[in-house]
Amino acid sequence: MTLAGLVREKGGELFVVGGHVRNTLLGIPVSDTDVTSRLRPDEMLRLCRENGFGTVEKGLAFGMVEVHINGKSYEHTTFRADSYGEGGAHRPSSVSFSDTPEEDAFRRDFSVNALYACVLSGEVLDPTGGVPDLENRLIRTTTADPETILRDDGLRLLRLCRFAAELGFDIEERTFAAARELSPLLADVSAERIRDELIKILMADAKYGLPAEDSVLRGLHAMDELRLIDVFLPELAACRGVPQSAKFHRFPVLEHIFRTTALSKPVLPLRLACLFHDIAKPIMLEKQGNMHGHDLEGERICREIMTRLRFDNGTTELVCWLVRHHMFDLDGRAKDSTLKKRFCRWGRERTLLLADVREADFQGSVGETIEVRSALRWRSVLHEMTEKNTPFSESELAVTGRDVMEALSLPPSPEIGRIKAALLSHCAVRPQDNTREKLLKLARDAAGRS
């Protein structure tokens, strides 16, 4: 017998709840399936184990049991009401189990996430008016007083922006007003949870395939208009309204940053780099009356932010590197040989990402998709280098450090590293010289030997 049938035998009904029901009604892909019923956690565990369904005890105190059926996992949560303490911390201080979806619905965040579909009958229950909100493309809290829901959990303020971004919905007027009033509550939420919601907003267009201008840009604007960035990204909020030269920029700094981010490709390090690339402009303007050097200062600020939000070291280093170098060859006058040496030192992947930053930066300046000559040239040069088998690291050279030491009768020393770096720089422009014989000759010449 199915789990839904077994739950009915126990006097209850099994419902699919939340995003699965919402997305099915919208006709968009479903990712996770959560289920709910009146069965208490111990009852659900016992029922599953007696009938051969696998379980994982995830959060019994909060009514959660993970159920495994035919190789798929479902999170079952008992109908409940939540109580929260003061502040905006995410975790409820206590829960009380209940017996109906109508009671359960009003502890959930937004009406479009409080939809229930009976597994056996298919009937959809809508205790909070989520179906009309889907039709009107609105995000609204489940309660008549939005503060009741938003005050309970500060993370819901960012989730509000995220669902608006992913679904392309507007935020209902009273919900918006309450969220802006309660924005300081976000300070009580852990850095990891804030980081995760920020990532989802930055990648919102990848969730259901909406255009980035209607998803990512919508989410960024919502975070700004609700003053959430003032709480967790004050460096970004400082860019609000800062003017730029009309000769090069159509928008003030913050709006330029938002549009650059939304117009970039849906790659997380790229989106983060675009979000932070001009973040130091207000500081430089205040310090010296112009924005020169904002790339160097921006790297420092970017590192502080990403460390604060607990990003992993690899992502942090890559994003900071992109911010640091986003002004390289801005006027497009660098010689081909200069580009080749730089690209060889940077590597293929980073060079391509930097070209993507450049492209998005220019497009974000005018607010539309355009061809960016410097980015096109960089990609062309890089393609030529790849076609000619240019080495992009010392490991791709035709000689090793040991080869150089033996040929020059040198012990291990920094001199070997200097010689190999010189060989790599030479081959960036003359890849045909990447042979053992030629490189050893060049090594002797570099060491002043014959």
Structural element, H or E, at residue 95? strand 94-97
Domain presence at residue 279: yes
Q: What is the mean pLDDT of residues 141-154?
A: 93
Complete edge-to-edge strand list for the sheet that includes strand 64-69 = 54-59, 64-69, 72-78, 34-37, 15-17, 116-118, 124-125
CATH number for the domain spanning 269: value is: 1.10.3210
Domain presence at residue 244: no
262 and 285 inside one domain: yes
299 and 359 inside one domain: yes
**Cβ-contact 127, 113 below 8 angstroms:** no
Which of 431, 446, 444 minimizes the C-alpha distance to 398? Answer: 431
Q: How far is CA 266 from the centre of its chain?
A: 9
> pLDDT tens, 269-326?
999 999 999 999 999 999 998 999 999 999 999 999 999 999 999 999 999 999 999 9
* Confidence at 439, pLDDT banded by 50, 70, 90: very high
**Structural domain boundaries, residue 340:** 253-387
User: Which of 232, 264, 281 represents a domain boundary (last residue)?
Assistant: 232
* Confidence at 450, pLDDT banded by 50, 70, 90: very low
> pLDDT tens, 19-70?
999 999 999 999 889 999 999 999 999 999 999 999 998 878 888 999 999 8
Predicted TM-score of the model (pTM): 0.92
Domain presence at residue 343: yes
Give residue 89's pLDDT: 57
